């Protein structure tokens, strides 16, 4: 059964996004390649040559339809997988078919485990929406890192943030109520999207289904629907189409006990 986007259930998000680390430059032209450079520039300031090298990855970008498995669990990818547009996810699935989303991948996020180390993934990666994805061959990726140490440093720091985010998600499911964990996820997405220039004035597009949210939050679809409705009734969020807006960012952060330092 195909689940409708949460926009149909009228969820919402908000909150003013924080300025990225190092006051990274705003994306030029708004393109997906600039999004990658913008994210990495927030972890380690890049030079013009670094940014030009990242621009060179455009040749590997291809459109990918939603619900496409990009890497299967236990597979070794001989390329670096980079999201340039859309939402993807890391997930595990049981034999019963039940899925647990371990992370949302947004523009600028990547998986390079196979390219760097030749290790198999202990999870799968799948697009949640229509995406633009780059599969950068191992040789080209390693050459990029060797020639541009600032890019390599930024990627190392980005991995540390990913690890911290995974720990926060674990704490979210283990220690917070359904209302609190949903609020926390919305605050986190606003922060992450804001840092790559895809959220402003407490608003961003969230073209996910309630099932996508439920599988990330460890809740049922019905529970997610009830939580979203409660957040709306309390005046914390609103929605028009798939555009989420956080109406009371301070209250939402207080509810979630959200601190963005781990990002």
Q: Is residue 1 part of a domain?
A: no
Question: What percent of the chain is modeled with pLDDT above 70?
Answer: 87
- What is the Cα–Cα distance from 256 to 263, expressed in whole angstroms? 15
Beta partners for 209? 5
Identify whether residues 144 and 244 lie together within a single domain: no
Residues in the chain: 263
pTM above threshold 0.75: yes
60: which 2 tokens? 């590997």
Identify whether residues 109 and 184 lie together within a single domain: no
Give the per-residue pLDDT at 95: 85
Identify whether residues 84 and 198 lie together within a single domain: no
Per-residue pLDDT of the chain (263 residues; tens, 9 = 90+): 334 445 433 333 333 333 334 333 334 444 455 788 889 999 999 999 999 999 999 899 999 999 999 999 888 888 999 999 999 999 998 888 889 999 999 999 999 987 888 788 889 999 999 999 999 999 999 999 999 999 999 999 999 999 999 999 999 999 999 999 999 999 999 999 999 989 989 999 999 999 999 999 999 999 999 999 999 999 999 987 788 999 999 999 999 999 999 99
Identify whether residues 32 and 152 lie together within a single domain: yes
R_g of the chain, CA atoms, integer Å = 18
Identify whether residues 13 and 46 lie together within a single domain: no
What digits encode the pLDDT tens for the residues 71-91? Answer: 998 888 889 999 999 999 999
Identify whether residues 50 and 151 lie together within a single domain: yes
Q: Which domain holds residue 96?
A: 28-158
- What is the Cα–Cα distance from 164 to 260, expressed in whole angstroms? 11
Beta partners for 61? 134
Give which of 252, 250, 208, 205 is closest to 232, Cα–Cα. Answer: 252
Beta partners for 189? none
The enclosing domain of 168 has a CATH number of: 1.10.10.10
Identify whether residues 66 and 91 lie together within a single domain: yes
Of the residues 93, 127, 158, which one is the last residue of a structural domain?
Answer: 158
Identify whether residues 93 and 145 lie together within a single domain: yes
Q: Is residue 136 part of a domain?
A: yes
Give the per-residue pLDDT at 117: 82
Identify whether residues 122 and 217 lie together within a single domain: no
Give the per-residue pLDDT at 219: 95
The enclosing domain of 114 has a CATH number of: 2.60.120.10
Give which of 250, 258, 220 is closest to 98, Cα–Cα. Answer: 220
Cβ–Cβ under 8 Å, residues 183 and 255: yes
Identify whether residues 137 and 55 lie together within a single domain: yes
Of the residues 109, 137, 158, which one is the last residue of a structural domain?
Answer: 158
Identify whether residues 73 and 86 lie together within a single domain: yes
Q: Is residue 16 part of a domain?
A: yes
Identify whether residues 15 and 41 lie together within a single domain: no
Cβ–Cβ under 8 Å, residues 185 and 244: no
Q: Is residue 32 part of a domain?
A: yes
Of the residues 158, 174, 202, which one is the last residue of a structural domain?
Answer: 158
- Report the alpha-carbon angle 39-120-157, nearest 5: 25
* Domains identified in the chain, total number: 2
Q: Is residue 148 part of a domain?
A: yes
**Reduced to 3 states, what is the DSSP secondary structure of residue 132?**
strand
């Amino acid at each position: 059964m195909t689940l409708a986007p949460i926009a149909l259930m009228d969820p919402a998000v908000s909150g003013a996004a924080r300025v990225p680390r190092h006051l990274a430059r705003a994306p030029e032209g708004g393109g997906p390649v600039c999004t990658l450079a913008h994210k990495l520039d927030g972890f380690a300031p890049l030079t013009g040559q670094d940014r030009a090298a990242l621009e060179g990855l455009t040749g590997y970008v291809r459109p990918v339809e939603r619900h496409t498995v990009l890497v299967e669990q236990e597979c070794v990818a001989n390329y670096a997988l980079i999201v340039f547009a859309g939402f993807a996810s890391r997930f595990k699935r049981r034999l019963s078919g039940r899925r647990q989303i371990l992370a949302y991948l947004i523009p600028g996020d990547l998986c390079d485990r196979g390219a760097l180390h030749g290790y198999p993934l202990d999870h799968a990666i799948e697009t949640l929406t229509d995406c633009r994805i780059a599969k950068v061959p191992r040789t080209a990726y390693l050459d990029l890192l060797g020639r541009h140490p600032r890019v390599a440093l930024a990627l190392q720091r980005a991995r540390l943030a990913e690890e911290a985010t995974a720990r926060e998600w674990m704490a979210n499911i283990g220690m917070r109520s359904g209302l609190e964990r949903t609020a926390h996820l919305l605050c986190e997405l606003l922060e992450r999207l804001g840092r790559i220039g895809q959220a402003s004035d407490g608003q961003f597009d969230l073209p996910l289904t309630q099932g996508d949210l439920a599988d990330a939050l460890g809740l049922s679809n019905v529970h997610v629907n009830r939580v979203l409705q409660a957040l709306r009734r309390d005046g914390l969020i609103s929605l028009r189409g798939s555009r989420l807006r956080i109406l009371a960012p301070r209250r939402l952060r207080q509810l979630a006990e959200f601190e963005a330092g781990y990002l």
